[in-house]
C-alpha cells in the first residue's frame, strides 16, 4: 500500500469536508444546523470506509479515481456546471435554515438520509461490478463491456445511484428550494451520458450491441 496514495486520499477528503462545511454553515450563520452535520456524516463516513476498502483491495482503481481529469471539452463544461449547481444548492440550504423560508418536518431529513445511504450501497455495488469504472469519459486499455448485474438492467447504474444521492442531499438538509436547484443535475447528466455513449460506441468493441441489448440508460422502463 502506497503512503503517497493514503496521503492523497485523506487530503482530498479533508478538503471536501472543509469546503462542504463552509458552503453549508457559513450561509446558515451557525454550526447548530443539525441537518448539515447529518449530511456530512452520511456522506463522508461511508466515503472514508470505502476509500480504505479500495486502498487494500483495489488500489489501482482508487488511484485512477483520485487522479481523474477530464480531457474532453464537453465534459469539462459538465463538471463546471455540476460544481456551480452543488455550491448553489448547499448555500441556499444554509440560507433556508437561517431565514426559515420553507421548513420541512424533521422526519424528511431522516427518511432521505436512509435513501441516501441505500443509494451509497448501490454506488458501492457498481464499483464492485465494474473495474473499468472511471470518473472521466474514456476508453481504457483492455477495457471490456460489462453487461451483468446492474449493467444488465440499465447502461449507467453509476448515474442511477448519483441521481438518487444528489436528489436526496437537499432533502436531508431540509431544503425544498435546494432540491429544485439539484434537479438541474438531470439535464447536466443527460448531456454527459450522450457524449459518453458516443465515445464508448466508437472506441469500445461490443458497446453498440450492448446498447441494443440494454434499452434503458438510467431508470428501468423510464429513462
C-alpha grid cell for residue 160? 442511477
Contact at 8 Å (CB) between 137 and 196?
yes
- Structural domain includes residue 93: yes
Q: Which helix (H) or strand (E) holds 207?
A: helix 207-213
Tell me the pTM: 0.90
Per-residue pLDDT tens over the stretch 13-54? 999 999 999 999 999 999 999 999 999 999 999 988 887 877
Alpha helix positions (H), 33-156: 34-57, 59-66, 73-99, 106-129
CB 25 within 8 A of CB 82: no
Residue 78: the pLDDT is 82
Confidence class for position 8, pLDDT limits 50, 70, 90: confident
**Under 8 Å CB-to-CB from 98, ≥6 apart: which residues?**
27, 28, 29, 30
Domain holding 157: CATH number?
A: 1.20.120.1630
Q: Could you tell me if residue 84 is inside a domain?
A: yes
What is the average per-residue pLDDT within 87-92? 98
Give the number of domains in the chain. Answer: 1
Specify burial of residue 130 (Cβ count, 10 A radius: 0-12, 13-18, 19+).
Answer: buried
222 found inside a domain: no
Residue 83 inside a domain? The answer is yes
Is 128 a member of any domain? Answer: yes
pLDDT beyond 70 at 84 = yes
Residue 162 lies in a domain: yes
For residue 179, is it within any domain?
Answer: yes
Residue 223 lies in a domain: no
Question: Which 8-state DSSP code applies to residue 100?
Answer: T
Mean pLDDT computed over every residue of the chain: 88
Coil, strand, or helix at residue 139? coil
- Residue 221 falls in which region: left (phi positive, over 0), alpha (psi -120 to 50) or beta: left
Distance between CA atoms of 223 and 217, rounded to whole angstroms? 6
Which range of residues forms the domain containing residue 196? 3-213
Residue pLDDT, tens place only, 107-162: 999 999 999 999 999 988 988 887 766 655 566 666 788 888 999 999 999 999 99
Least confident of 24-33, 85-94, 187-196: 187-196
Amino acid at each position: 500500500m502506497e503512503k503517497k496514495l493514503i496521503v492523497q486520499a485523506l487530503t482530498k477528503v479533508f478538503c471536501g469536508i472543509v469546503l462542504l462545511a463552509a458552503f453549508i454553515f457559513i450561509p446558515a450563520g451557525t454550526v447548530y444546523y443539525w441537518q448539515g452535520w447529518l449530511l456530512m456524516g452520511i456522506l463522508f463516513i461511508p466515503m472514508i470506509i470505502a476509500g480504505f476498502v479500495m486502498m487494500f483491495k483495489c488500489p489501482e482503481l482508487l488511484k485512477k479515481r483520485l487522479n481523474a481529469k477530464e480531457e474532453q471539452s464537453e465534459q469539462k463544461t459538465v463538471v463546471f456546471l455540476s460544481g456551480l449547481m452543488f455550491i448553489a444548492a448547499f448555500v441556499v440550504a444554509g440560507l433556508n435554515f437561517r431565514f426559515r423560508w420553507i421548513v420541512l418536518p424533521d422526519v424528511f431529513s431522516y427518511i432521505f438520509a436512509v435513501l441516501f445511504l441505500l443509494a451509497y450501497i448501490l454506488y458501492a455495488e457498481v464499483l464492485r461490478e465494474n473495474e473499468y469504472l472511471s470518473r472521466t469519459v474514456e476508453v481504457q486499455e483492455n477495457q471490456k463491456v460489462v453487461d451483468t448485474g446492474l449493467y444488465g438492467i440499465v447502461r449507467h447504474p453509476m448515474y442511477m445511484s448519483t441521481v438518487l444521492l444528489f436528489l436526496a442531499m437537499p432533502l436531508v438538509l431540509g431544503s425544498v428550494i435546494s432540491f429544485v436547484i439539484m434537479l438541474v443535475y438531470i439535464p447536466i447528466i443527460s448531456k454527459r451520458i450522450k457524449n459518453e455513449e458516443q465515445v464508448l460506441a466508437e472506441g469500445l468493441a461490443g458497446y453498440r450491441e450492448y446498447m441494443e441489448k440494454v434499452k434503458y440508460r438510467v431508470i428501468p422502463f423510464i429513462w
